[in-house]
Structure 1
């Protein structure tokens, strides 16, 4: 049986997308070039918005039991950290969890949902027509086959074979600087020595299994090409130059060199081929944002592609994926370039003194709560808000509500099925449906739409006035439609029942298809 979607790449983005599609009843096959799951982990963290996504699908406990939380994260490796704990989220922390474990947990969930995962399959090329995509695959035995699907999504990294085969440009800048990282089983440095390493710009991170990661940009080696292998001798020399000792490193489990090439796909969609994660954007790994925005790409794309396949998507819904996520990719590539510049200038002798002064100034600014929260909101992705073409509510007496496009706060709610029990918005999002919330009354009578949207919609109401009245952002709001990815599709302050009904029907039709489509899906 041909799958509805072939996802190329079994990294975090591809696995998350496979889960989202399968949750909506879409037949998914994930193919991966590598024969085995990688045990090395370039990424180490899940930021607050990524943990909210896991919470929305009931997966947060699995991840929390596998990692450890810290209340913030660094920005440009400045001494003052971003304070995620001050943000408006139940998940105001960074979860320290190596990428290999994140992939294992997502693969576990994907298999529970019936996703087929085939490793050792390399994409050689693809062609598409108006109904399907044909993908040429070569397996580990060298056998070449052609597989068909209604859509193909490239989640296959910065060198994406899918992106190249689809003819999508990858504009940006080439590598001009590289750093090195190493995971070591043995370090013989004292706490004071490790502190000195950190003070000299070396990132030192304890990992599970007794490993310690060192990340460093060596002024004498920062122009070495990323393809050049890193040796233990080079790592020791670099640490010695940085802080006067080699921190006693031995038994390297993984050594790698990484660069600052920064690129953004010219398009996220070409016909029936789409891109997500590193296939759509690459950048210097500043503040650990890459894996996280890949997960968020997948969450945005999953329900929209599923709606298209299941026949109820309104016109333009799938195109809104690029409209919403490409600006996010662009913002992150710009932000990481700024963070790298703050580090690079200190490594160039003629700029070192003013660069150090600039970093000192910026570190002082991070001590200002409003500045800290501004940057924390960006890095955590909690401040991500979409200016979607579907946000136009010009027919409404009040126009587009400022909440539209923002993430929905995880307030307490009740449902008609269990009016005496309290639940949360994110718990109601677990099936991947829309959630319609009536904040104007302690019953669902006025917010209950006709049954035509029932397969895609859960209705709820505020558990009590106290659940939201202390929130300035929700004060006066009478009704909210939350998308399956946790962003707000529509909100209104209207209290008149008939006007609200008219606006509600328009919002549901705009985002969830016409009543006839909803009924037949």
Structure 2
């Protein structure tokens, strides 16, 4: 029996498996597909944009260099001063100008190797995570389709064919058509689609008839990527065509002609798939011993490239909490904070994609909205607002504190000796950073060494803080202009890390 069974070996399931493996949990990952490689995961069809927040998650676990190498991106150690981002994405197909991002207005931004988003592909992400999972002792079984899920107060069992896989916990990371979600009886609510979208890899006889990049038209939208023959398009048919009929060359060409307003010709279609803007979310991310993460918990259109990043955020948030529960030192209710913190973020992303769909709909009303939004995106405030949202830098969990840094992703604070916060988080423990001179915090932190790493020294930029307590997922749990006394530290640490007398296994502590 394993501590945790994860269903789904995509980026979310693999990242979660790595988090649990890092904490010493025994983890089994079950994946339906028999092979890890697919043309849908490699360039160009597998291209994905990781937000700055997602890149930071890889950085904090020591996987950033491997990710950049696998993605063919130069490894940047981080500038001495934060500059404007190189790429900022789009809103409803309207591109943002990086030069208009007001870096000074971004909350608590400090130089970091993970300041930027990264263009990569699913194959690169999964390769890096699979290698890390293997090092951490995670077992992955492929070609396994889960057909039943049953649980009681002690165990949860997943059935696949004639085999049963028992664990203390089960997490569904099996995508938008999640089997686990249905088998475990999660309520899944939201809105129905307005369009059918298509991703196509084809031979185009006359590509010059199509404009590059995003093209909003009176009848829909199309996107011509730099790679030859890689086209995306959206037709507002109420989602009627999605997975209802075979995607023939004739149909795809007809749709592309309608939304582009050209007589472009697809001479051959190599690969094609459809999707919609259906936006739904489970009402809770946990039912007993079954939890959901990623698209299994929430689906929406890919507008704004939020789905993968949202799922990785789920995995980072859930991983340490589930590990603490497995290992028996989590405080009561810690696992319930997963839904409480992540569900509002998922709901916001659904609304963010709904707003873009509304702006892109054919008709004079939506076109009038496009004009207003283009004007807003022409300003520094408008561009900065959108960048804050899509980069993840605006996310803040309500942890019951008025201190403005608490609940936010911790900036990459750096000591004078060059040690960065990101260097201190690679073993999955929390971090207590002490910038004070009396070092009273050191004595308080001694009893928590198995779960909280203590580091002290003068900071190159301490943001006016005397001490910071950072959760394993990089979220600031406590911050103040001076180090807390023992009572305050015990209260803050106990709230997130459980019993102070818990002793981790030697290989973890």
* SS of residue in 2 equivalent to 1:65: helix
Stretch moving more, 29-38 or 279-288:
29-38
Cα distance change of structure 1 residues 181 and 450 upon mapping to structure 2, 3 Å threshold: closer
Q: Which one of 362, 379, 382 corresponds to residue 371 of structure 1?
A: 382
The CA deviation at 1:262 is 1.0
Q: Deviations over 1:494-514 (max 9, x none)?
A: 46xxx5222111111111112
1:264 aligns with 2:284: no
Aligned to 2:90: 74
Cα distance change of structure 1 residues 101 and 438 upon mapping to structure 2, 3 Å threshold: same
**Distance (Å, rounded) in 2 between the aligned partners of 1:257 and 1:236:** 14
Aligned to 1:417: none
Aligned to 1:326: 343
Q: Which one of 281, 299, 307 corresponds to residue 316 of structure 2?
A: 299
Aligned to 1:504: 489
Contact 1:437 1:447 survives alignment (8 Å): no
1:493 aligns with 2:481: yes
Q: Deviations over 1:264-308 (max 9, x none)?
A: 101101111100001100011110100111011001000110011
Q: Deviations over 1:172-216 (max 9, x none)?
A: 1233421111123667523x7434973643222235xxx542111
The CA deviation at 1:152 is 0.3
**Distance (Å, rounded) in 2 between the aligned partners of 1:175 and 1:222:** 5
The CA deviation at 1:238 is 2.7
1:454 aligns with 2:465: no
Cα distance change of structure 1 residues 310 and 187 upon mapping to structure 2, 3 Å threshold: farther
Aligned to 2:82: none
* SS of residue in 1 equivalent to 2:450: helix
Stretch moving more, 365-374 or 8-17:
365-374
Q: Which one of 280, 287, 294 corresponds to residue 277 of structure 1?
A: 294
Q: How does 1:71-110 map to 2 (within 5 A)?
A: 71-81=87-97, 86=103, 88=109, 90=112, 91-110=114-133
Cα distance change of structure 1 residues 84 and 424 upon mapping to structure 2, 3 Å threshold: farther
Q: Which one of 410, 413, 416 corresponds to residue 411 of structure 1?
A: 413
**Distance (Å, rounded) in 1 between the aligned partners of 2:88 and 2:123:** 22
The CA deviation at 1:137 is 1.3
1:480 aligns with 2:480: no
Q: Which one of 64, 71, 78 corresponds to residue 68 of structure 2?
A: 64
Cα distance change of structure 1 residues 444 and 263 upon mapping to structure 2, 3 Å threshold: same
Contact 1:155 1:275 survives alignment (8 Å): yes
Q: Which one of 327, 330, 333 corresponds to residue 313 of structure 1?
A: 330
TM-score (structure 1 length as normaliser): 0.85
* SS of residue in 2 equivalent to 1:97: strand
The CA deviation at 1:492 is 2.0
Aligned to 1:128: 151
TM-score (structure 2 length as normaliser): 0.87
**Distance (Å, rounded) in 2 between the aligned partners of 1:187 and 1:402:** 56
Q: Point out where structure 1 has 5 or more consecutive residues left out of the alignment.
A: 139-143, 393-398, 415-420, 469-473
Aligned to 1:396: none
1:467 aligns with 2:461: yes
Q: How does 1:108-187 map to 2 (within 5 A)?
A: 108-138=131-161, 144-184=162-202
The CA deviation at 1:221 is 8.8
Aligned to 2:428: 432
**Distance (Å, rounded) in 1 between the aligned partners of 2:90 and 2:258:** 23
**Distance (Å, rounded) in 1 between the aligned partners of 2:197 and 2:241:** 9
Cα distance change of structure 1 residues 242 and 186 upon mapping to structure 2, 3 Å threshold: closer
How many residue pairs are counted as aligned between the two chains? 479
**Distance (Å, rounded) in 2 between the aligned partners of 1:59 and 1:516:** 31
**Distance (Å, rounded) in 1 between the aligned partners of 2:261 and 2:403:** 57
Q: Deviations over 1:349-404 (max 9, x none)?
A: xxx223212101101101222222222111121211111xxx34xxxxxx642221
Contact 1:226 1:259 survives alignment (8 Å): no
Question: Comparing both structures, which one devotes a greater share of its residues to helix?
Answer: 1
Contact 2:189 2:283 survives alignment (8 Å): yes
Aligned to 1:15: 14
**Distance (Å, rounded) in 2 between the aligned partners of 1:457 and 1:169:** 37
**Distance (Å, rounded) in 2 between the aligned partners of 1:318 and 1:197:** 41
Cα distance change of structure 1 residues 227 and 93 upon mapping to structure 2, 3 Å threshold: farther
Contact 1:405 1:488 survives alignment (8 Å): yes
The CA deviation at 1:112 is 2.0
Cα distance change of structure 1 residues 244 and 163 upon mapping to structure 2, 3 Å threshold: closer
* SS of residue in 2 equivalent to 1:17: helix
The CA deviation at 1:124 is 1.3
The CA deviation at 1:105 is 2.1
Aligned to 1:422: 418
Q: Point out where structure 2 has 5 or more consecutive residues left out of the alignment.
A: 74-85
Aligned to 1:418: none
Cα distance change of structure 1 residues 195 and 145 upon mapping to structure 2, 3 Å threshold: closer
Contact 1:6 1:30 survives alignment (8 Å): yes
Contact 2:158 2:166 survives alignment (8 Å): yes
* SS of residue in 2 equivalent to 1:517: coil
Contact 1:4 1:26 survives alignment (8 Å): yes
Contact 2:189 2:280 survives alignment (8 Å): yes
Q: Deviations over 1:210-262 (max 9, x none)?
A: x5421111357964234333222222233333335465655534201111211
**Distance (Å, rounded) in 1 between the aligned partners of 2:213 and 2:157:** 55
Q: Please report the RMSD computed on the Cα atoms of aligned residues, expressed in angstroms.
A: 2.5
* SS of residue in 1 equivalent to 2:175: coil
Contact 1:455 1:518 survives alignment (8 Å): yes
Aligned to 1:6: 5
